[in-house]
Chain A
Amino acid sequence: MLENLGERLQNVMSKIKGYGKITEENIGEMTREIRLALLEADVNYKVVKEFIENVKQKALGEEVAKSLKPGEMFVKIVKDELVALLGGEKQELNITGNPATLMLVGLQGSGKTTTIAKLANHLRKKYKKKPLLVACDVYRPAAIDQLEQLGRELGIPVYQEGKGNPIQIAENAVTYAKQNGYDYVLIDTAGRLHIDEELMQELKNINNEIHPQETLLVIDSMTGQDAIHVIEGFHSELQLTGAILTKLDGDTRGGAALSIRHLTNVPIKFIGVSEKMDGLEEFYPERMATRILGMGDLMSIVEKAEQVIDEESAMKAAKKMQKGNFDLEDFLEQLNQIKKLGPLENILKMLPGASKLGLNKVQINPKDMAHLEAIIQSMTKEERKDPSIIKASRKMRIAKGSGRSVEEVNRLLKQFEQMKVMMKQLKNGKMKMPF
């Protein structure tokens, strides 16, 4: 998602390696590149200035000058600054109330309704407790319908009173939740502009009546320089406790993330990474910074895998991967596991060095996955164990059996071989890390 920023920064890093030493003269060129990269990523222009100034000062400091590896030191400085910008420590949700109330606010179209359903699903899964969704968007046509449909899909109840008074609805919902033993009350509100005084007053009134533990701003990760006005606008009226950055599965570089915490001190708590109902992840500043730098995000993959794949089979798969002697049979099993992980592109992007290998740009059509599966399933056990025995006549049979063409069978076999080679390299440490 942030690969382009990562790539640009990586280019800068390799330049430094060439220079061997950071000086007043050559640092200008490097910081110029970083400035462009950050601005293209929609990082707030003031933050960019500050960032550049800080990096410059530290890079020219004594420590770096003395260092034998100024390139690595420079990377470290940039990374540390990025982590600092992103907020340092991960921030947990405050869900201590009985019931705990959470209110989601934001501009129109930022993804509040989708996000609140995902959040309810996440809380239910993580804490094994009962959430209640509350429909307080009484303005946008069919907003209540949307929340009800999502609630039905997830099996999470939705409290609604049609197009009533949002403040009253929120109050009633909390009472209802208390009476019926719900642990979390999640309030969906209508999208509004931060400069709409009337509608902002409405949110303040809800805030004053029910005192939510969390007031979370939902903000589109594609937002440009206006992000700061939006955040400050909502924060000054509502004292936000956090932000949720949505639509990060797009190709946006998400620079708004870099500005939110730094300029307002509002922590990012979650990120939205797919349209599916499990497409909400907790936000880890350190990981995000590492990901921006193109060092991959193995921790995110591990966590994601743990949620979906049972541990035992994950261990088994990992061992086979490491040995590098897996066959098409294992590959088939992997395919099934991977399918549970959600869009494969997201996983690939998180692998270390993904952008160097071009994996970040890989596009995978779910249909292609189904085709691969069909082809492998049309092979005999022997063929799966030892693909080298698959010659022309076997290929024809497999193609017929799977309803695919011989070319596709060939392609699969070739790709499988390439993958094996790649894995061996990974195992032998031949694959170079970005730095």
Chain B
Amino acid sequence: MGIFDKFKNLFQKEEKEELNRYDIGLEKTRKEFTSKLNLLTLKYNRINEEYYEELEDILIQADIGVNTVIRFIDRLKDRVKKENILNASDLKEIIVDEMFIIYVQNQIIVNKINYNKDGPTVILFVGVNGVGKTTTIGKLAYQMALQEKKVLLVAGDTFRAGAVEQLIEWGKRVNCDVLYKLDADPASVIYDGLEKAKREDYDVVLIDTAGRLQNKTNLMNELDKINKVIGKIIPNAPHETLLVIDATTGQNGISQAKSFQEITNITGIVLTKLDGTAKGGIVLAIKDSVGIPVKYVGLGEQKEDLRVFDIEKYIYGLFKEMDVEK
């Protein structure tokens, strides 16, 4: 058995236990909401084509990519055949299990921030327009400041009207310093920010960037330049590059992940606005096809509303009945 298999087994075993514990912990909550999966099970005693079709609809509605869903259903069918499963109720756990496998595969997924031991840790935030980069930076700064880290925010979005002011206001709110220069090139602002961080011993530097659509060549080139500037001032930086994705995003999320991955080494995703009715299932498709894990989720506009991503909670959430129909 290879070392990776060993890890995999170890990890999966641990995760299964986690899942069980989670199951018990969730029992109460689960009674309170009607799980779509439960409804499906009630409706179809026996597993048949219609059952699969309806399951497919549920997953597509959650914005999990079509291709990922089709492959998932195929795998499920295989397993049902192999293990000779007949009742829909027996399939519930397997569905959750298979969803989990899509995400985890045989990797060890680390949610923790990769801190730099010999100097400031640099975290770069990228993404398309309006996904919540600046807000996420404010929230993460708040968490890190609570851990008594000296945090510097760098206003690298010099393009959008009001972006610098927005970050300055967040700085005030969470009590962190903000480095900004009006009417400057982003690379030059970032240069100044990193020099300041080195000089004044900051623990963490959070760099905001302008929203850019991934098909805009010149803006993507600018990001490439920013990345190079960072690496020149602090070797091996950025230590994390987080791609911020809005949970309402549909299939375009895959294109976003691919395009940003080509320019920068994306180390994780922040899935924002998960407090709405959107499920953000596109992150499963992204993990499946581009291999980038989610590190944080955004659950509101307040400074406390950022959580470390928890795949189990997330999978159960996918099947939660929407409570929009009042």
Beyond A45-B57, A107-B273, A224-B63, whether A142 also contacts B218 by CB under 8 A is no
Task: Please indicate the chain A residues that have their CB under 8 angstroms from the CB of B286 in the complex.
Answer: none
Beta-carbon contact of A225 and B250 below 8 Å? yes
Query: Which of A142, A193, A232, A367 is in CB contact (< 8 Å) with B162?
Result: A142
Q: Mark the stretch among A35-43, A174-182, A282-290 that contacts chain B.
A: A35-43
**Residue of chain A at shortest CB distance from B221:** A365
Bound Cα distance A275, B173 (Å): 29
Beta-carbon contact of A109 and B250 below 8 Å? no
Beyond A109-B130, A146-B161, A193-B276, whether A222 also contacts B217 by CB under 8 A is no
Query: Which of B128, B132, B217, B301 is in CB contact (< 8 Å) with A250?
Result: B128
**Size of the chain B interface, CB-CB below 8 angstroms:** 50
Beta-carbon contact of B324 and A42 below 8 Å? no
Q: Mark A215-257, 1 if CB is under 8 A from B, else 0.
A: 0000010111111011011000000000000010111110110
Taking A147-B162, A224-B282 as given, write out 5 further A-B residue pairs in contact, using a Cβ cutoff of 8 Å, ordered by the A residue number.
A42-B251, A249-B215, A251-B255, A345-B215, A367-B218
**Residue of chain A at shortest CB distance from B277:** A229
Beta-carbon contact of B213 and A109 below 8 Å? no
Q: Mark B283-308, 1 if CB is under 8 A from A, else 0.
A: 00000000000000000010000000
Beta-carbon contact of A226 and B276 below 8 Å? yes
Give chain B nearest CB distance to A7 CB in angstroms: 14
Beta-carbon contact of A249 and B213 below 8 Å? yes
Q: Is A149 engaged at the interface, CB distance under 8 Å to the other chain? A: yes
Beta-carbon contact of B277 and A42 below 8 Å? no
**Chain A at the B interface: mostly helix, strand, loop or mixed?**
loop
Bound Cα distance A367, B219 (Å): 12
**Residue of chain B at shortest CB distance from A1:** B215
**Size of the chain A interface, CB-CB below 8 angstroms:** 53
Query: Which of A110, A143, A222 is in CB contact (< 8 Å) with B252?
Result: A222
Q: Is B192 engaged at the interface, CB distance under 8 Å to the other chain? A: no
Give chain B nearest CB distance to A169 CB in angstroms: 18
Q: Is A358 engaged at the interface, CB distance under 8 Å to the other chain? A: no
Give chain B nearest CB distance to A147 CB in angstroms: 8
Task: Please indicate the chain B residues that have their CB under 8 angstroms from the CB of A255 in the complex.
Answer: 250
Q: Is A108 engaged at the interface, CB distance under 8 Å to the other chain? A: yes
**Residue of chain B at shortest CB distance from A146:** B162
Task: Please indicate the chain A residues that have their CB under 8 angstroms from the CB of B132 in the complex.
Answer: 108-109
Task: Please indicate the chain A residues that have their CB under 8 angstroms from the CB of B253 in the complex.
Answer: 222, 224
Q: Mark A170-196, 1 if CB is under 8 A from B, else 0.
A: 000000000000000000000001110
Work out how many contacts link A and B, with CB atoms closer than 8 A. Answer: 159
Q: Is A363 engaged at the interface, CB distance under 8 Å to the other chain? A: yes
Q: Which A residues are within 8 Å of any B CB, using their own CB? A: 36, 39-42, 45, 107-111, 113, 139-147, 149-150, 153, 193-195, 220, 222-227, 229-230, 232-233, 247, 249-253, 255-256, 275, 345, 363-367
Beyond A222-B250, A224-B63, whether A195 also contacts B277 by CB under 8 A is yes
Task: Please indicate the chain A residues that have their CB under 8 angstroms from the CB of B217 in the complex.
Answer: 363-365
Bound Cα distance A229, B63 (Å): 13
Q: Is B55 engaged at the interface, CB distance under 8 Å to the other chain? A: no
Beta-carbon contact of B252 and A149 below 8 Å? no
Task: Please indicate the chain A residues that have their CB under 8 angstroms from the CB of B139 in the complex.
Answer: none
Beta-carbon contact of B63 and A107 below 8 Å? no
Beta-carbon contact of B250 and A250 below 8 Å? no
A–B Cβ pairs within 8 angstroms, 10 of them: A39-B60, A108-B130, A109-B273, A145-B161, A193-B276, A223-B248, A230-B248, A249-B215, A251-B214, A251-B255
Bound Cα distance A153, B129 (Å): 20
Task: Please indicate the chain A residues that have their CB under 8 angstroms from the CB of B62 in the complex.
Answer: 225
Bound Cα distance A393, B161 (Å): 49
Beta-carbon contact of A230 and B277 below 8 Å? yes
Q: Is B160 engaged at the interface, CB distance under 8 Å to the other chain? A: yes
Beyond A36-B66, A225-B62, A365-B217, whether A220 also contacts B173 by CB under 8 A is no
Give chain A nearest CB distance to B281 CB in angstroms: 8
Beta-carbon contact of B130 and A220 below 8 Å? yes
Q: Is B194 engaged at the interface, CB distance under 8 Å to the other chain? A: no
Query: Which of B166, B216, B278, B322 is in CB contact (< 8 Å) with A224?
Result: B278
Query: Which of B61, B63, B130, B252 is in CB contact (< 8 Å) with A251?
Result: B252
Beta-carbon contact of B128 and A141 below 8 Å? no
Beta-carbon contact of B162 and A250 below 8 Å? no
Q: Mark B155-194, 1 if CB is under 8 A from A, else 0.
A: 0000011111110111001000000000000000000000
Task: Please indicate the chain A residues that have their CB under 8 angstroms from the CB of B247 in the complex.
Answer: 226
Beta-carbon contact of B128 and A149 below 8 Å? no
Query: Which of A36, A108, A224, A250 is in CB contact (< 8 Å) with B273?
Result: A108
Beta-carbon contact of A226 and B248 below 8 Å? yes
Bound Cα distance A143, B162 (Å): 7
Q: Is B131 engaged at the interface, CB distance under 8 Å to the other chain? A: yes
Q: Is B240 engaged at the interface, CB distance under 8 Å to the other chain? A: no
Give chain B nearest CB distance to A183 CB in angstroms: 24
Q: Is B224 engaged at the interface, CB distance under 8 Å to the other chain? A: no
Residue among B62, B130, B164, B277 facing the most chain A CB atoms (10 A cut-off): B130
Beta-carbon contact of B170 and A141 below 8 Å? yes
Q: Is B239 engaged at the interface, CB distance under 8 Å to the other chain? A: no
Beta-carbon contact of B162 and A111 below 8 Å? no
**Residue of chain A at shortest CB distance from B127:** A109
Bound Cα distance A365, B214 (Å): 14
Query: Which of A141, A232, A250, A256 is in CB contact (< 8 Å) with B214?
Result: A250
Give chain A nearest CB distance to B169 CB in angstroms: 4
Beta-carbon contact of A194 and B63 below 8 Å? no
Which residues of chain B in 75-112 are interfacial with respect to chain A, using CB atoms and an 8 Å cutoff?
Answer: none
Bound Cα distance A266, B234 (Å): 52
Query: Which of A39, A142, A226, A366 is in CB contact (< 8 Å) with B66?
Result: A39
Bound Cα distance A223, B246 (Å): 9
Q: Mark B125-143, 1 if CB is under 8 A from A, else 0.
A: 0001111100000000000
